[in-house]
Amino acid sequence: MAKQPSRAWQRMLSGRRLDLLDPSPLDVEIEDIAHGLARVARWNGQTKGEHAFSVAQHCVLVERLAVELNPRLAREARLMALLHDAPEYVVGDLISPFKTAVGIDYKDFELTLLAAIHLRFGLPARTPASLSALFKKADRPGYTQLRVPIGGVKEKVLAAHRNGLKTIVLPKRNKVDLDDVPEEIKNSMQFIYAETVDDVLEAALEPAKPENKKKTIDHKQIKLLKKSKANDKNHGSRR
Residue 23: exposure state from Cβ atoms within 10 A (0-12, 13-18, ≥19) = buried
Q: Which is nearest to 45 in space by CA: 146, 174, 136?
A: 146
Region 133-151: mean pLDDT is 67
Tell me the per-residue pLDDT of 194-215, one tens digit each, with 9 for 90 and over: 876 667 767 776 655 555 544 4
pTM over 0.85: no
Give yes or no for a contact between 82 and 59, defined as CB atoms under 8 angstroms apart.
yes
Greater pLDDT, 173 or 16: 16
Q: Which helix (H) or strand (E) holds 17?
A: strand 17-19
Q: Environment class of residue 140 by beta-carbon count within 10 Å: exposed (0-12), middle (13-18) or buried (19+)?
A: middle
Q: What is the pLDDT of residues 102-124, one digit of tens each?
A: 666 777 888 999 999 999 999 99
